[in-house]
Structure 1
Amino acid sequence: MSIRNQILIQNLRFLIYSFDFQINSFNFAHETQMKPLFTLLFFCSFVINSAQKSAPDSLLLILSQTNDPDKIIQLQNQISEAYQSSDPSQMQKFAKLALMNSKKSNNPIQKAKAYQNIGISYIILSDYDKAIQNFEASEQILINQKNPSKESQEILAKTLGSKGIAFSEKNNYAKALEYDFRAVKIYENLKNKLQLSKIYNNIGVIYNSIDDGKKALEYFLKANQLQKQDNNPAVAVSASNIGLIYLNQNQKTKAKQYFDESLKAFEIHPNARGLGELYNNYSRYYISENQYDLAKEFLLKAEETFISIEDQFGLSDTYLLLGEIYFKENHPEKSLEFAGKSLEIAKELELPETRMKSEKLLSDIYDKQGNQELALQHLRNYNFEKDNLEKIINEQQRLKTELDFHYEKEQLEKKETEMRAKWLVILGFVVLAFVLVGLFFYFRNREREKTLMLQKQLAEFEHKALHLQMNPHFVFNCLASISSFIMQNGKEDAMKYLSKFSKLMRLTLEFSKESSIPIDKEIEALQNYLELEQLRFNQKFDFKINKDSEIEDDTAIPSLLLQPYVENAIIHGVAPKDGKGFIKIDFTQKDEQLICVIEDDGVGIDTSRELKKNSVNVHQSMALDISKKRLKTLEELENKKVNLKIEELKDENNNSRGTRITLELPLNYIND
């Protein structure tokens, strides 16, 4: 038997007999009037509230004892919802009261809910245009919420689903699906599995009603999966429905699997109506396997179940199946009996497909019995019912084509949106890459410019250091001393002095070409300089230069760096001292640093400052200042720490005993 448009007839039966709105159970049954079926379908899924609804009388009692305006509005909406299963006029009355009061108190949530309830009441009253108007008013309030709460999102999803009901009643299934899918998106974000399972079922119903079993199965499976997770009683009915779709697709193994799952679920969650439909489905399975005895066993169980709850819908199906089996087994009398019962119920309940199949079976039975007159009469009836059914099927096919178009359009728009989003992401990455590359080159060029500037500054300081390296007084005194030696016939001393002077000048000129020199060359230059100063100051001081054995010969030191500090130790340290002075220069290595210490036992820093007040020391001040700037530039250029420390040495009586200059340089080596 075809399952086209057989969804949710069980909801109709369930509503008639038990009024239990919490179970969204539906089965495939016979085709009947389309609108009532869909109305009940969506009511069971959307417009029925949760267990918080109380009977109208108890809510009315609470309302009569309440003075809080907000509580009154809330109760009026709850009373409206409580009346939806029994009195749509009362439902509308209390919803309108809630709407009026919510406008006064400016309560947007209850206002949206009131519009929603009014819309639902109009659906029940079959005024679908007014229903849609109220749902749109509710929707507009909710989508304008700046920071929507979970409650407002739940109400919006319910409004969209209810709006879908109204469009389905107007046979606008494309619009109905549009609002269903919007509701799905909200419920998915809210992770509301219960409502999701219901709306998935409803989407499946729409697709199945237009004979699109593939899409119907897709959504029924989604619903079934969620029902299993939540241990929802509706899982038994949905499994039975899924099994029937698989059976009609000739996937018998899967069909039997879901029928068995359904039977186990009904044992946990009893539902006579759903169980009776499952027995009918089992019989269809065994008929397809030509196991007629097993099929009849299940049909007899179905008959017993349906009679116990006075379910004529299920019995019409059961009797037709029994009539077909007895006809195949060559029992025309029994087949005639059950075919007649099925036709009688189908006429009473206006089930066109069942009427058509019953008329065909009766025609075949009478033809087999040789009663051509009755056979022909029922054949005419069959053709009439077939024509009527074909009109319905053609309409369904038209709707299917329309929905397929809208579905494909939606999928195309979705792909285009995803493609645009993909290209936007790619474009974003490209722009980001360009920005990062631009920033990289910008900062690299900036660092390069900074390095070039530092190198230029360093070169300038080195050039200035060269010009200031030889104190004019020192040069003049050296030349005067040489001249004196010659006048006094001290030719050997003059030659020795001149040799040291020329060597120092040559080294100074050589060093000026290099930014760094080997440490031994620096020691040699300092040795020459100190010896010349000894001659200049008539052996006023002694000196000693020490180099740690751990220091490699190719250890580098900035050229012309230490001479100004040594000169300062001579001129402002040991020269003003009473008696002979001593200068000691030590080179040591610690970790990754070269440590240079220049120590004298001269007059000390404080005494030297007093003496400077009455003397001209511009050259020396400039030389030391340039040396300090040179050290700072060197520190920035190599990005390594350079430390300069000048301290006065004190004895145990706190008297000055000289000055110590400590210079810590990063350890570098000469590149060959």
Structure 2
Amino acid sequence: MRRVFSALLLLRVLLAHGQDASLVPDLRATLATATNDTLRADALARICFNLIRSEPDSARLAGEQAMTLAKRIGNQRALGDAHNNLGWLAAEQGQLDRADSLLRIALGIFQKIGVPAYTSVTLSNLGWLAEKRGDSVGALKRFQEALTLSEAAKDTATVSILLYSIGTSYRKIKDHEQAVLYLERSQAYERLLHRPGKEAHCLVALANTLKERGDTLGAIDRYHEAIAIYKRIPDHLGWGIAEENLGDLFQLRSPRTALEHYGIALAKYDSLESTIDQAYVLQRIGKARLELGDVVGAGSSLNRGLELSSSAGDPALTMEYEMALARLAAKNGDAQHTMSHFDRYLVLKDSIQGADTQRELARLRTEFETERKEKDNIILRAENSEQAARIRSGQVKLYASIALVVLVLVAALLLLRNFLQKQKHANVLEKLNQQLADSNKEVTEINGLLEMKLLRSQMNPHFIYNCLNSAAQMTQAGKQVVALAYLQGFARLLRMVLDHSVNDTVSVEEEVDFLLQYLKLEAHRLPDFTYDVNAAPDLLDDGAIIPALIIQPFVENAVWHGLAHKVGDRSITVHFTQGSDGPVCTVTDNGIGRKEATSAHHAQDPSHKSLGMQLTSERLKLMARRMQRDGSITIEDLQAPDGSAAGTRVTVVLR
């Protein structure tokens, strides 16, 4: 279904959360009469929220003022509200990375406060942000987390909205059974809450899901139920969209019936003067008339729709109209109009593709400039080091010359002065030896860095190979949709790998996010697979750091060697704690154990070796030598009470 209905539902969801620009004058009056900073911060955060759609610039200003004031007075709730509202504003404006950062900060604040309703709102926003990124699986996870908290808070209105969001997310990943289950629950809640408009939206979403599942009769019944509600409210836009969707259902089997429904939808859009909706439905009317052999009527509808599409400024829809009119002219034998419409179609297509190309070129140009600046900085640092070495060498020569002259003069004057000058010369030689030792230490440091870079460059291709191999297995198994979602997640994971490969170390929080993204991808291919990645709060609060890409090979080894061959429930837990001498990471799985995993892989490939763990061990040794601190890896085979293998625990200690 086209984007208009999705936009309508999103608007209704936002309104359900209380966004209303008409409240802003009263909120500003409250701000003006506020007697303390707590009330001012709260009023500014609410002003930001209610202006997100109508006045985004004013919303940003109010949100930033609320954030500054909340930080100054230490009001955690107002600070969380400000981050949450500014995060959603950034998402509305397409600044998805900034939105993700702000919403995660808000989530952390609300989780510390411990009020489920606050945390649920931010989790819902993170779910919608994931939808904007095209990550339906990530959105589904966030919505389900928010649903659990809203049910605990007994917030029925929010529960209904989240049930609807989860249902639509399941529909996007083609799990129609679950989608129907959640949408029906949402409809039942809306009926109890006496919100007929939202109940009708649920019915339309159910109809669309049933249509995709192949249940045509069920879809028709739901559309008619929704239309009956829209008539009663009345809601002309919802009525028109439902009629339009119903017409799409009859487009191929009965164009005349489809035309009747499209006509009702057009009448509703005309009454609302909704130009873009008129343009979309006229395109469908033109196709239906053409199917019925009404060439003149089809041309009239398509030409009117073209005018509306052009005035609405929708180049993609206008391009479709030009192609439809070109085909109509070709069917009539009108070569001149066929070529003119087709030429305009090509121009629009090139324009749209050109805009996409320009955006990609801008992105590549930015990456190139960043890389070039990094290389220039490296060259500049090398030149500075060389210049410093020349200066030191000149100083050494100068000191030696002065010492020699002094020695000659002192030798000619007094034996005592000669003795004293020999002592001074000895001191100078000691300084030179120290400088030489320092130079050797720097050379050793540089060699260590080069070895680290070499090992990390070996790890990255190994990791990419394993990920692409997983996607290939899904495709071979016929899971193209899952493979596509997996590759989209893999693209984001690869971006994180590239970011981490620039630095020797990353924060524990960044490593946790990276491992969660990796395990989410692995969950696509392993049935009954659950995972948990967490870190002790003191590690996150202190900003503890660990070597980059150091834990993932152990997790990957547990998944591929310990869990892949297991039958039944599979689980893995990654836990970061603060040890007595530094961070400690524990990777625990309930797999088949090392002995059976070794036997299975030896049977498949006798020459197989775990390259990831070998490289990681070498990196730990280099890291310990360069940072002058030890690290260790301990592998423990877990056993059930009956003595059978119950999994493996790997403990990585960084002192």
TM-score by length of 1: 0.49
Deviation string 1:340-362 (CA, Å, 9 cap, x unpaired) is 23344445556677556545543
1:325 maps to 288
Shift of 1:64: 2.1
What CA distance in whole angstroms lies between the structure 2 residues aligned with 1:352 and 1:211?
29
Q: Is the 8 A contact 1:307 1:315 kept in 2?
A: yes
Give secondary structure in 2 for the equivalent of 1:55: helix
Task: Kindly indicate whether residue 153 of structure 2 is the aligned counterpart of residue 190 of structure 1.
Answer: yes
What CA distance in whole angstroms lies between the structure 1 residues aligned with 2:177 and 2:311?
32
How many residues are paired up? 385
Shift of 1:339: 2.0
List aligned pairs for 1:552-591, cutoff 5 A.
none
- CA gap of 1:325–1:270, structure 2 versus 1, over 3 A, is same
Task: Kindly indicate whether residue 274 of structure 2 is the aligned counterpart of residue 311 of structure 1.
Answer: yes
Give secondary structure in 1 for the equivalent of 2:34: coil
List aligned pairs for 1:610-621, cutoff 5 A.
none
Q: Is the 8 A contact 2:19 2:49 kept in 1?
A: no
Show structure 1 runs of 5+ residues with no match.
Answer: 13-24, 27-40, 425-429, 432-672
**Which of 238, 241, 256 matches 1:277?**
241
2:240 partner amino acid? G
**What's the Cα RMSD here?**
4.2
- CA gap of 1:369–1:308, structure 2 versus 1, over 3 A, is same
1:110 maps to 78
**Which of 412, 415, 418 matches 2:528?**
412
**Which of 254, 259, 263 matches 1:300?**
263
Shift of 1:158: 1.4
2:279 partner amino acid? S
Deviation string 1:170-211 (CA, Å, 9 cap, x unpaired) is 555554444333223322333433223333444455566677
2:144 partner amino acid? F
Task: Kindly indicate whether residue 155 of structure 2 is the aligned counterpart of residue 155 of structure 1.
Answer: no
Task: Kindly indicate whether residue 80 of structure 2 is the aligned counterpart of residue 83 of structure 1.
Answer: no
What CA distance in whole angstroms lies between the structure 2 residues aligned with 1:168 and 1:331?
41
Q: Is the 8 A contact 1:49 1:81 kept in 2?
A: no
- CA gap of 1:144–1:170, structure 2 versus 1, over 3 A, is same
What CA distance in whole angstroms lies between the structure 2 residues aligned with 1:194 and 1:213?
24
- CA gap of 1:197–1:349, structure 2 versus 1, over 3 A, is farther
Shift of 1:255: 1.3
- CA gap of 1:418–1:269, structure 2 versus 1, over 3 A, is farther
Shift of 1:132: 2.3
Shift of 1:115: 1.9
Shift of 1:261: 0.9
Query: Larger % of helix: which?
Result: 2
Deviation string 1:34-77 (CA, Å, 9 cap, x unpaired) is xxxxxxx3x65358633798622212212222314433332232
Shift of 1:325: 2.3
2:104 maps to 136
List aligned pairs for 1:431-510, cutoff 5 A.
none
Task: Kindly indicate whether residue 193 of structure 2 is the aligned counterpart of residue 230 of structure 1.
Answer: yes
2:218 partner amino acid? K
Show structure 2 runs of 5+ residues with no match.
Answer: 358-479, 490-519, 532-562, 573-588, 591-639, 642-655
What CA distance in whole angstroms lies between the structure 2 residues aligned with 1:169 and 1:52?
23
Q: Is the 8 A contact 1:198 1:223 kept in 2?
A: yes
Deviation string 1:409-436 (CA, Å, 9 cap, x unpaired) is 6963349997779x99xxxxx99xxxxx
**Greater relative contact order structure (CA < 8 Å, 6+ sep):** 1
1:398 maps to 484
Deviation string 1:285-313 (CA, Å, 9 cap, x unpaired) is 34444261x43333222222111111122
- CA gap of 1:217–1:298, structure 2 versus 1, over 3 A, is same
What CA distance in whole angstroms lies between the structure 2 residues aligned with 1:141 and 1:410?
34
2:529 partner amino acid? E
Q: Is the 8 A contact 2:240 2:266 kept in 1?
A: yes
Shift of 1:93: 2.9
- CA gap of 1:359–1:66, structure 2 versus 1, over 3 A, is closer
What CA distance in whole angstroms lies between the structure 2 residues aligned with 1:358 and 1:240?
27
Deviation string 1:346-386 (CA, Å, 9 cap, x unpaired) is 45556677556545543443233222454466567779989
Q: Is the 8 A contact 1:89 1:121 kept in 2?
A: no
Task: Kindly indicate whether residue 215 of structure 2 is the aligned counterpart of residue 251 of structure 1.
Answer: yes
What CA distance in whole angstroms lies between the structure 2 residues aligned with 1:58 and 1:165?
29
Whose radius of gyration is greater, 1 or 2?
1
Q: Is the 8 A contact 2:19 2:50 kept in 1?
A: no
**Which of 324, 332, 336 matches 1:369?**
332
1:119 maps to 87
- CA gap of 1:44–1:263, structure 2 versus 1, over 3 A, is closer
Task: Kindly indicate whether residue 305 of structure 2 is the aligned counterpart of residue 337 of structure 1.
Answer: no
Shift of 1:334: 0.9
Q: Is the 8 A contact 1:209 1:396 kept in 2?
A: no
Shift of 1:252: 1.8
2:26 maps to 58
Q: Is the 8 A contact 2:49 2:59 kept in 1?
A: yes
Q: Is the 8 A contact 1:356 1:382 kept in 2?
A: yes
- CA gap of 1:200–1:400, structure 2 versus 1, over 3 A, is farther
What CA distance in whole angstroms lies between the structure 2 residues aligned with 1:181 and 1:345?
41
1:398 partner amino acid? L
What CA distance in whole angstroms lies between the structure 1 residues aligned with 2:18 and 2:158?
11
- CA gap of 1:401–1:63, structure 2 versus 1, over 3 A, is same
Deviation string 1:409-464 (CA, Å, 9 cap, x unpaired) is 6963349997779x99xxxxx99xxxxxxxxxxxxxxxxxxxxxxxxxxxxxxxxx
2:65 maps to 97
What CA distance in whole angstroms lies between the structure 1 residues aligned with 2:318 and 2:172?
19
What CA distance in whole angstroms lies between the structure 2 residues aligned with 1:249 and 1:354?
27
- CA gap of 1:187–1:410, structure 2 versus 1, over 3 A, is farther
- CA gap of 1:74–1:129, structure 2 versus 1, over 3 A, is same
What CA distance in whole angstroms lies between the structure 1 residues aligned with 2:258 and 2:93?
42
What CA distance in whole angstroms lies between the structure 1 residues aligned with 2:277 and 2:34?
48
1:455 maps to none
Further displaced range: 260-269 or 76-85: 76-85
Q: Is the 8 A contact 2:327 2:338 kept in 1?
A: yes
**Which of 227, 246, 252 matches 1:263?**
227
Q: Is the 8 A contact 1:119 1:134 kept in 2?
A: yes
- CA gap of 1:241–1:178, structure 2 versus 1, over 3 A, is closer
Shift of 1:276: 0.9
List aligned pairs for 1:592-631, cutoff 5 A.
none
What CA distance in whole angstroms lies between the structure 1 residues aligned with 2:253 and 2:247?
10
What CA distance in whole angstroms lies between the structure 2 residues aligned with 1:84 and 1:310?
25
1:297 partner amino acid? E
2:159 partner amino acid? L
Q: Is the 8 A contact 2:325 2:341 kept in 1?
A: yes
What CA distance in whole angstroms lies between the structure 2 residues aligned with 1:157 and 1:83?
21
Shift of 1:258: 0.3
Shift of 1:405: 5.1
- CA gap of 1:250–1:362, structure 2 versus 1, over 3 A, is farther
1:536 maps to none
What CA distance in whole angstroms lies between the structure 1 residues aligned with 2:275 and 2:172?
21
- CA gap of 1:202–1:401, structure 2 versus 1, over 3 A, is farther
Give secondary structure in 2 for the equivalent of 1:234: helix
Shift of 1:141: 1.8
Deviation string 1:559-605 (CA, Å, 9 cap, x unpaired) is xxxxxxxxxxxxxxxxxxxxxxxxxxxxxxxxxxxxxxxxxxxxxxx
